[in-house]
Structure 1
Amino acid sequence: MTDPTPSSSNARHTASADRPWNDDQMQRIARTLVDEPESVWRYIRGLPGVRSWKILNDMVFLILSGVLGTLWFVVAIAGFTVGVSLLIVLVGVPILAATIAILVWGANLERARVRAFLNIDLPSPYADLPRNGGRVKRGWQAIRTPAVWRDIAYLLLLFPIGLLEISVALIPLQFLVTPLVTLVGGENNILFWQIDSFGESLFALLVGVILLVPLAMLINLLAMLHGEFAKRLLAPSTEEILTERVEELTESRSAVMKAMYLERRRIERDLHDGAQQRLVSLAMDLGRARERIDSGDDAGARDLVLRSHEESKAVLKELRDLVRGIHPAVLSDRGLDAAISAIASRSAIPVGVEIDLPTRQPDEVEGTAYFVVVEALTNIAKHSHASQANVAITRDDDWLRIEISDNGLGGADLARGSGLSGLRDRIQALDGRLRVESPNGGGTCLIVEIPCG
C-alpha cells in the first residue's frame, strides 16, 4: 500500500505556489501599509498619466476620497455602535479602543495621501506624546489629546465630502463613455439628463469635450479645498505648535545652561589640575635656581633653568590645547574646512573629509558645527569600533548640512545615548535638527541641519 503523504504534500505545495497572493506577500503589504503608508499612495500617484496630468492626479484623489470616506464612516459607526452597546459587560472598552486606534491610523493614512497627491506636508500631532508607561497609560494620554478627536471628525466628515468629490470627479468620465454605454445597451444618465439614442450620446460626448476645461477647473478647485480642509483638522493647531515650541525652547535653554556650567567646571578643573600645578612647579624650580646662583652653584642652576624652560613649553602646549577646546583659533582664522581637517588629522581612526562651502558661515553656526563634529568623532573613536569615518558638510539653501558616518557596530539610540543627547541640545539651541540612522551592525550616520540664513 502506497503512502499518500508525499503526493498530498506536493499538491499543497503546488496549490500554494499557484496562489497569486501567499502569506509572505500579504504580510509585506500589511507592513508597508502600517510602516510606510505614503509609499502606497506614491505608487498610485506614479501610474502613467496620473503623474503627468494634474487633472488625472486630482481626479484619482477625489475618487479615493469617496471610497475611503465610505470605508472609514462604516468602520466608525460600526465600531462605536458595537462598543457603546457592550460597555455594560466591559467588552465594549477594548472594542472602542480598537476603533479609535484604527481611525487614528486611518488619519495618518490620509496625511500620507494628502502629502503624496496634493504635496501638502501635514506633520503628525502625535510626535511628542510620551513613550513611557504601559499601553493603557499611553492610550489614555493619546485619547485626551484634541488631535485624536480632530482625526475622527475628519474621517466622519470625509464621508459626505467624499461623496460630493467622487460625484464631481466622475462627471467627465460619464460624458466620455456615453457612446460606449449606449452601444452595449446600458442605462445612460448624466446628472438629470436621460440619454436614449446613440445620436444623443454623441451629442453628450461633444458637450463633455466643451465642458472639459471648466470641469477640470472645478476638480482642481475641489482638490485644493480638500487640502485646506485637511490642514484644519489633520495638522497640529497653532496653539499646539506654539506650546511645543515653548517646550522645546525651555528644554534647550535648560540644556544649554547645564552644558555651560559643566564646561566652566571642566575648564576650572583642567586649569587647576594641569596648567596651575605646572606653573607652581615652574615657579619653585626657578626659585631653587636663583638660590643656587646666589650660592655659586652655576651648574646646578643651569640644569634647573633648562628644566624650567622645558616645563614652560609644556605649559604653553597645555594652555593652547585648552584654548583650542574653548574656541580654536584656526576656526576663526581659516573657517570650517581647515578646522575640521585639523580634527580629522588628530583622530584615532582615519577620517575622510568633504566640505563644500563657498563662503564663511555665521560664527555661531561654525562654532556649533565644529563642536558637533568634534564630539561625534570622539564618540566614534570610543564606542563604535569603527575603522573608518567620514565627514561631509554642505550648504543647502539656508541650511548647513553635516553628515557624519562610520562603519562601526551601529545601534546608536538618541533616546539612550547621553553623548547624542548633548549633541541634540547643542543643535536645538540654534533651531537645528538631528537625525540618527544606526541599524545594528550597519554603522551609524548622524545628519545635522543648522539654519544659517
Structure 2
Amino acid sequence: MNTTSPLRRWAGGWWVAAHLVTDLLVGLWHWVPLLLLLLGAALVPLAGAGIPLLLLARVLLDASAALERSRLRALGVPVEDPGPWSRPGPWWRRWLLDPRPWRSAGHLAVVATAGLVGGTVVLVLAATGLAAVVAPSLARWTSAAPGGLSWPWGSGGPIGAPDAVVGLTGVALLLLVPLLARVLAVPETATGAALLGPSPQQREAALRERVDTLTSTRERAVDSVEEERRRIERDLHDGPQQRLVSLSLQLGMARRALDREGPDAARALLESASSSATAAIADMRRVARGVAPPVLTDRGLDAAVSALAATTPVPVDVEVSPDVSAHGPAGRPSATTEAIAYFCVSEALTNVAKHAGASRALVQLWQEAGTSGPRLRVRVQDDGRGGARPGDGPGAGPGAEGGSGLRGLLDRVAAVDGRLAVSSPPGGPTVLDVDLPWLGGGAR
C-alpha cells in the first residue's frame, strides 16, 4: 500500500517533469541509432551494404539502453540489467541475434516520440504558468518606468484581464504540471520496465538456476547441520564426558578415603577432582564455542562477539557499527543471520588461534545497503602468516581448519543467500569477509 502523502507525491511529480524535459535532449540522440537501424535494414538486401550500419546501430543501441536504465532508476523505476546473453553459435551470430538491443529499440522509439511530446507539453505549461505568475508584477514595473512596455494583459492592456485572474491561472498551471507529468511518463516507464530488463527467456533461465541453487544449498545446509551435530557428539564423548566420568570416580574414592583414612587422605583426591572439574568446564566451553550462546539471543551480536573475543587467546579488537549494536531503522538482524554471523566469527577466531600465528586480530560488523534490503557485513582479519588454502588441508588464518571449517561456513552462508570470501596471501594478512542478508531466514 502506498503511504506517500499527496503533497509529497505532487512534489515528486516535478522530478518526473524534469525527466520529461530531458527527453527533449536524449530523445533527439535516440533517433540516431533508430534511423541507422532502419536504414541498415533497408540496405541489407543490396549485397549486405547495410550490415555496417546495423553493427553501428547495435553499439549505439546498447549505449542508449544503458543511459535509459540509469534515467529510469533515478526516476524510481526498478529496471534490472539484462545480463549476458548466451546462445550457441559463432560470436557474430550471437552478437547480431541478441534480442536485448532490438527490444530496447522499442523503448527508444517511445522516448523519441511520446517522450518528446510529453517533454514539450510539460515545458510549455511550466513556462506559461511561471510567466503568468510573474507577469502582473512585471507589467506594473515596466509600465511605471519611463518609456515602459505595454503588456497584452492586465493593467490596461488590450485583453484587459485582471491581474488576479492572470496570477491564479499561472498558479493553476504550475499545480497541474507535476500531475500531468506523471500521466505523460506512463508510456515511457511502462515500456522501459518491460523492454530494458531481462527477457522472459532470461527470467525463466534465472528462475531455473535459482531453483537449482536453492536445492543445492538446502542439501549442503542439512549436511552441515548433521556434520555439526556429529562434531558436538564426538567432542562431548571425547572431552567433557570422559572428564565427568573421571570426576565421578575421584569423588567416590575421596568419599571412601574420608570414611576409612580421614580428611588428610581424602584431600589429595578432592584436589584432583577439582582439577578434573575445571578441565571439564573448559572442554564444555570449547564444545559450545560454535553454538549460539544465550547472550546472543538476549543482547545481540555486539555482546556475543565481544564475549567471544574476550575468551580468545589472541588479542582481538571488536568494532561494531551503531546500526548493529543499537539496532537502527532496519531493526535487529534475524535470529538466523545472527547465528550464522556468530558462527563465522567463532570459527574464524578459532583458526586464528590455532593456525595463523597472529599477534592480533580484528572483528568488524556493520550494516550495508543492498539492492534487496540491508545486509550484515562481517570481517575478521589477522596479522598472521597467511597462506590459507580453503579446502586444502590445514592452513593459516580464518576458515582453514583442514578445509572442513571453511566448507561449513560456506554451506551456512550459502543457505541464506550470503557470500563468503577469503583473502590470505603468503605472509598475510588473512581477511575473511561475510555478506549476509539482514533478514535472511526469517525475521524475529
Q: Which of 14, 17, 20 does residue 59 from structure 1 map onto?
A: 20
Match of 1:357 in 2: 327
Following superposition, the deviation at residue 429 of structure 1 comes to: 3.6
Following superposition, the deviation at residue 256 of structure 1 comes to: 0.9
Query: Unpaired segments of 5 or more residues in structure 2?
Result: 1-11, 129-151, 153-157, 160-165, 393-398
For the residues of structure 1 that align with 2:291 and 2:235, how far apart are their CA atoms?
Answer: 12
1:113 aligned onto 2:71? yes
For the residues of structure 2 that align with 1:140 and 1:216, how far apart are their CA atoms?
Answer: 46
1:155 aligned onto 2:108? no
Normalising by structure 1, what TM-score?
Answer: 0.57
* Contact preservation (8 Å) 2:377, 2:436: yes
Normalising by structure 2, what TM-score?
Answer: 0.58
* Contact preservation (8 Å) 2:118, 2:185: no
After superposition, give the CA deviation of every residue in 1:101-134 in whole Å (9 maximum; x if it has no partner).
Answer: 7755653443222112x1222222428x89xxxx
* Contact preservation (8 Å) 1:62, 1:162: yes
For the residues of structure 2 that align with 1:274 and 1:98, how far apart are their CA atoms?
Answer: 72
For the residues of structure 1 that align with 2:62 and 2:115, how far apart are their CA atoms?
Answer: 23
| Partner AA of 1:318 in structure 2 | D
1:256 aligned onto 2:221? yes
For the residues of structure 1 that align with 2:90 and 2:310, how far apart are their CA atoms?
Answer: 48
Match of 2:192 in 1: 230
Match of 1:221 in 2: 183
Match of 1:344 in 2: 309
1:122 aligned onto 2:79? yes
Following superposition, the deviation at residue 318 of structure 1 comes to: 0.7
Following superposition, the deviation at residue 288 of structure 1 comes to: 8.2
Give aligned-pair identity as a percent: 30
Higher helix share: 1
Following superposition, the deviation at residue 216 of structure 1 comes to: 6.0
The verdict on how the C-alpha distance between 1:239 and 1:121 changes in structure 2, with shifts beyond 3 A counting, is same
Following superposition, the deviation at residue 356 of structure 1 comes to: 0.8
For the residues of structure 2 that align with 1:449 and 1:140, how far apart are their CA atoms?
Answer: 40
* Contact preservation (8 Å) 1:401, 1:449: yes
The verdict on how the C-alpha distance between 1:142 and 1:70 changes in structure 2, with shifts beyond 3 A counting, is same
What does 1:355-394 correspond to in 2, within 5 Å? 355-357=325-327, 363-375=335-347, 389-392=362-365
The verdict on how the C-alpha distance between 1:426 and 1:222 changes in structure 2, with shifts beyond 3 A counting, is farther
Following superposition, the deviation at residue 223 of structure 1 comes to: 2.0
Task: Look up the SS of the partner of 1:350 in the other structure.
Answer: strand
* Contact preservation (8 Å) 1:376, 1:404: no
Match of 2:115 in 1: 165
Query: Unpaired segments of 5 or more residues in structure 1?
Result: 1-50, 178-198
RMSD: 5.9
Match of 1:450 in 2: 438
The verdict on how the C-alpha distance between 1:383 and 1:66 changes in structure 2, with shifts beyond 3 A counting, is farther
Match of 2:378 in 1: 404
For the residues of structure 2 that align with 1:240 and 1:386, how far apart are their CA atoms?
Answer: 48
Q: Which of 70, 87, 92 does residue 31 from structure 2 map onto?
A: 70
| Partner AA of 2:276 in structure 1 | E
* Contact preservation (8 Å) 2:39, 2:53: no
Following superposition, the deviation at residue 141 of structure 1 comes to: 12
Following superposition, the deviation at residue 65 of structure 1 comes to: 4.6
| Partner AA of 2:31 in structure 1 | T
The verdict on how the C-alpha distance between 1:386 and 1:443 changes in structure 2, with shifts beyond 3 A counting, is farther
Following superposition, the deviation at residue 314 of structure 1 comes to: 0.9
For the residues of structure 2 that align with 1:140 and 1:295, how far apart are their CA atoms?
Answer: 97
For the residues of structure 2 that align with 1:314 and 1:395, how far apart are their CA atoms?
Answer: 42
Following superposition, the deviation at residue 228 of structure 1 comes to: 1.6
* Contact preservation (8 Å) 2:340, 2:412: yes
* Contact preservation (8 Å) 1:385, 1:408: yes
